[in-house]
Structure 1
Amino acid sequence: MQRFIIEMGMGNDQYGQDYTKAAARAIEDAIRHSSIPMFDALGVDHMKMAVQVTVGVQKPKAVDCVALAEKLPRGQVTVKAVLGGLDVTNPDSGNVLVMASAAVEAFLNPEDLAG
């Protein structure tokens, strides 16, 4: 497989301390501005694409990777959560703001691009 796309994004949850929500927002940020006309132009089935998503948060075990994978509309998706991101505590309220980062990578077999 050859990687042909990598997008990065950041998301947060300011009040709920929800790591999955922050990760979903980071993934959305990463893909929000992407348009890949290659599939139509070359007649490639987008389901042949492997999509690997890595999200970084301070509590990786708190991320529902299956739910995140189900939200991506194209390709064969895998999501993994790793240690990263940032938790910021508001000193006035004690509320923890959760920040997540995401890398979305897409792969295809070079033979699939030959048409």
Structure 2
Amino acid sequence: MKDILFVQTGTGTDVHGQDITKAAVRAVEDAIYSNSMPGIEKALPNGSLGNMEVNVRLAVPLDREQVDTQVIKQMIPDGNVQVEVTEGGMATSSGIILKKENDDNDLMYIVNAAIEVGA
């Protein structure tokens, strides 16, 4: 990406079930779903959303290899989307193990997302 136009950030949590992709999806939703980019096309080459570059960075505490990056890419409707999974976020106790919620242990996963949009 040559020019970053803006960065959106978000946090997502999976309290039960230890599903790191679910926490990552929630972090991306938190970052993008309350934003509007009405002038973005004017800043992109040829005025096309297809020329938008999107870098999704996910800070994940555990199970990094289990993040389904294709699910994350599908969340971004336009542009060339890249997903990078790095160490970070937090794994902490939820205080309870709920078998009906598919808990293997009492950990909840917290993921941070930074989404760079540019050209």
Interval of TM-score (by shorter of Structure 1 and Structure 2): 0.7 to 0.9
Say yes or no: does 1:47 pair with 2:50: yes
Structure 1: tracts of 5 or more residues without a match: 109-115
**Larger deviation, residues 88-97 vs 7-16:** 88-97
Say yes or no: does 1:23 pair with 2:27: no
TM-score w.r.t. the length of structure 1 is 0.85
TM-score w.r.t. the length of structure 2 is 0.82
Q: Aligned-pair distance for 1:91?
A: 4.2
Paired residue total:
108
2:10 and 2:114 in contact (8 A); partners too = yes
CA distance in 2, matches of 1:90, 1:17: 11
Match runs of 1:1-115 below 5 Å: 1-39=2-40, 44-59=47-62, 60-93=64-97, 94-108=105-119
CA distance in 2, matches of 1:25, 1:100: 8
Q: Aligned-pair distance for 1:81?
A: 0.8
Query: What RMSD, in angstroms, separates the aligned Cα atoms of the two structures?
Result: 1.7
User: Taking every aligned residue pair, what percent have the same amino acid on both sides?
Assistant: 31
Query: What's the CA shift string for 1:48-104, capped at 9, x where partnerless?
Result: 100000001112212111221122112110111111110111345451111000000
